[in-house]
Amino acid sequence: MHGIAYDATHDEVVVPVALADAVLVFRGGADGSEAPVRVIQGTKTKMIRPHTVTVDEQNNEIIVGDSSGRSILVFDRNANGNVPPKRIIQGPRTGLLFIVGVAVDPIHDRLVAASSASVPGRKTGLFIFGRTDQGDVAPRAVIAGPKTGIVRPWQLASDPQQGKIFVAAINNESHPPYELEKPRTDLPHDVQLPSPWNSGALGFIGVWDINDDGDVPPRAIIRGDNTFLVHPGGVAIDPKDGEVFATDSIRNGLFSFLAPSLFSERSRPQSTLENGTTRSAR
């Protein structure tokens, strides 16, 4: 399993299971060997390898990013069994390839996918669609390019109230032809990047606006030796308390950053949080 989402409105945990071509929904208080309350699985679902999920609590939908199907599938939140999706975004015009993150912004009516490309001429970055788009449709915007700093994105989180997208950029390459113009040589002294994560590029948590488009730098970034982040693959946010959470597969830890400025309109573009208050659990 590579993803997880929590539905606070209905107190449910949603988990994609790539090898079973399924999405499981558990009670928020599930414990032990407890069966899911609903299972989305079967040929009608069109799922091949569901990699990531998010929940649109406002519109009662579960959004699935399928890395093998190169598709975004939208199901009714109460879907159960071998049921077809309500909508599918898929096809060459979408630009989507290896989908590793999805997020929804119901206030700005947008759906965001993080997609990695190992095909020449295809883009790696954030693909922004209309929330109800379907079929082989072109994205409304694509955030990609050297100025973004994104070599390899992963999980996403959305703050609809502020119209912001939080991105976990693991960046260390695992498949060719990813190439870095200038690999990092200043890694923390106690970090050894095992193969195949040996590109030397430190990952980061980046923040973009939902209306950004093109090769634009993040409006805020959490990175650097003081953050302990090397290979951050997961990101979650708590806007109420001004916290950003990140998981790191090299550090084997869960890190909490106190960054209230990221959740207010006073946040300045291209600010860097490298020496702020950090809490970690390893």
Which residue shows structure tokens 């040929």? 43
Q: Are residues 62 and 168 in the same domain?
A: no
> Considering 114, 144, 174, which residue would you say is the last residue of a domain?
144
Q: What is the reported pTM?
A: 0.85
3-state percent breakdown (helix, strand, coil) of the chain, nearest 5 = 5, 40, 50
Please report, rounded to a whole number, the percentage of residues in the chain having pLDDT higher than 70.
83
pLDDT at 154: 92
Indicate which CATH number applies to the domain containing 196.
Answer: 2.40.10.500
> Considering 144, 163, 194, which residue would you say is the last residue of a domain?
144
- pLDDT tens across 194-243, in order? 444 445 568 899 999 999 999 999 999 999 888 888 889 899 999 989 99
Indicate which CATH number applies to the domain containing 93.
Answer: 2.120.10.30
Structure tokens at 263: 């959740």
> Considering 113, 144, 175, which residue would you say is the last residue of a domain?
144
- pLDDT tens across 26-81, in order? 999 999 999 999 999 999 999 999 999 999 999 999 999 999 999 999 999 999 99
Residue 160's CB: how many other CB atoms inside 10 A? 18
Q: Are residues 186 and 129 in the same domain?
A: no
Residue 144's CB: how many other CB atoms inside 10 A? 22
Q: Are residues 53 and 136 in the same domain?
A: yes
pLDDT at 250: 78
Q: Are residues 139 and 153 in the same domain?
A: no
Q: Are residues 115 and 25 in the same domain?
A: yes
Q: Please choose, from the candidates 44, 54, 49, 47, the residue with its C-alpha nearest in 3D space to the C-alpha of residue 14.
A: 54
How many domains does one find in the chain?
2
Residue 223's domain comprises 149-282
